[in-house]
């Protein structure tokens, strides 16, 4: 805001109209007149009044204080405020319309994907009729089913950690190699392997994962062995985080399924504290989904209710 204009000082017998700056803009405040204004003052007042004449812009009156410089420091005109408000409303309408359109498209695509299987059963959208048979079988038989076997839990934890370098499709296609190299994921047997043996060219494990990931599986096997001694089984330890009851999600669309949760962060933090490697919250949540600690099948998927039934009978 520009500085207020200087006003000619006058004595108590020569008072005139003075401009005053206030939050609502420039206004004219009339002080008490002890004596009639002189003729020269009237002329000066008339000139200022002429400068403050109303300006008509787009049918809206805008009163300047008494100079164009002072008027520029006033608050925004009703016209500009109305234009800004109108623009914001239009932007919100367009954003809402776009969001509704995207959601509608997603719902249509997911419904279409679930209806095009030859057996007539709806599946989660990440499974399509063009998916590999092993991937479809993984969805239909394993994903979301509660697991309580220590070997199977250790296998799923290791494979979930491999997602940093491979997709589920690639992991499942090489699953038999993983089981051969890591002795069917027996944590006791794997913990006795040495880093030198696991990275030996004769085994060719580097074709599966990087050396860093291979070493992390060995280290995790050692930590699982310690947990078995402390808790009696890895199953008791891991299921204790969910009170030995899987979380039954009620997701309708894929966009609702999270990549991690506060529970996954809690498990990850405790595993890291115990010396586990490659167990970020996203890895742990993928493990929770696969091992059935949480049932993230969409409600439209035929496996959603089946996994609930398996939990009730287990």
Q: Terminus-to-terminus CA distance in the chain, angstroms? A: 74
Q: Which of 249, 247, 252, 162 is nearest to 207 (CA)?
A: 162
Q: Which of 62, 64, 57, 56 is nearest to 27 (CA)?
A: 64
In degrees and rounded to multiples of 5, residue 67 shows phi and psi of -150, 155
Give the separation between CA 266 and CA 185, rounded to whole angstroms: 25
Residue 139 marked as a ligand binder: yes
Q: CB-based contacts of 269: which residues, under 8 Å, 6+ apart?
A: none
Residue 301 marked as a ligand binder: yes
DSSP string covering 37-103, please? PPHHHHHHHHHHHHHT--EEETTEEE--SSSHHHHTTSPPPHHHHHHHHHHHHHHHHHHHHHHHHHH
Q: CB-based contacts of 213: which residues, under 8 Å, 6+ apart?
A: 161, 162, 164, 165, 278
Residue 60 pairs with which residues in a beta bridge? 57
Q: Which of 238, 220, 250, 252 is nearest to 293 (CA)?
A: 238
Q: Which of 185, 172, 217 is nearest to 198 (CA)?
A: 217
Residue 297 marked as a ligand binder: yes
> How many C-alpha atoms does 155 have within 13 Å on its Cβ side?
23
Q: Which of 227, 247, 223, 225 is nearest to 238 (CA)?
A: 227
Give the separation between CA 224 and CA 233, rounded to whole angstroms: 9
**Residue 70's Cα: distance from chain center in Å?**
48
Residues tagged in the binding site annotation: 124, 139, 297, 301
Residues tagged in the binding site annotation for Zn(2+): 124, 139, 297, 301
């Amino acid at each position: 805001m520009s500085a207020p204009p200087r006003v000619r000082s006058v004595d108590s017998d020569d008072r005139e109209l003075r401009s005053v700056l206030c939050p609502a803009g420039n206004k004219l405040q009339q002080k008490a007149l002890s004596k009639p204004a002189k003729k020269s003052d009237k002329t000066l007042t008339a000139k200022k009044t002429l400068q403050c004449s109303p300006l008509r812009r787009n049918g809206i009156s805008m009163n300047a204080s008494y100079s164009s410089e002072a008027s520029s420091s006033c608050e925004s005109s009703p016209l500009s405020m109305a234009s800004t408000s109108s623009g914001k409303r239009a932007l919100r309408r367009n954003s809402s319309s776009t969001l509704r359109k995207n959601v509608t498209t997603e719902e249509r695509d997911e419904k279409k994907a679930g209806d095009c299987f030859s057996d007539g059963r709806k599946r989660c959208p990440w499974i399509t009729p063009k998916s590999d048979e092993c991937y479809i079988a993984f969805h239909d038989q394993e994903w979301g089913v509660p697991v309580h076997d220590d070997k199977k839990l250790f296998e799923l934890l290791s494979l979930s950690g491999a997602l940093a370098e491979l997709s589920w499709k690639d992991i499942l296609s090489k699953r038999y190699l993983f089981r051969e190299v890591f002795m069917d994921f027996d944590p006791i047997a794997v913990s006795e392997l040495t880093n030198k043996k696991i990275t030996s060219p004769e085994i060719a494990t580097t074709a599966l994962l990087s050396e860093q990931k291979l070493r992390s599986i060995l280290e995790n096997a050692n930590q699982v062995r310690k947990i078995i001694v402390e808790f009696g089984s890895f199953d008791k330890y891991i299921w204790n985080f969910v009170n030995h009851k899987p979380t039954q999600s009620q997701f309708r669309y894929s966009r609702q399924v999270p990549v991690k949760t506060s529970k996954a962060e809690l498990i990850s933090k405790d595993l890291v504290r115990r010396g586990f490697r490659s167990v970020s919250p996203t890895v742990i949540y993928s493990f929770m989904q696969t091992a059935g600690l949480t049932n993230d099948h969409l409600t439209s998927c035929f496996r959603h209710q089946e996994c609930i039934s398996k939990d009730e009978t287990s």
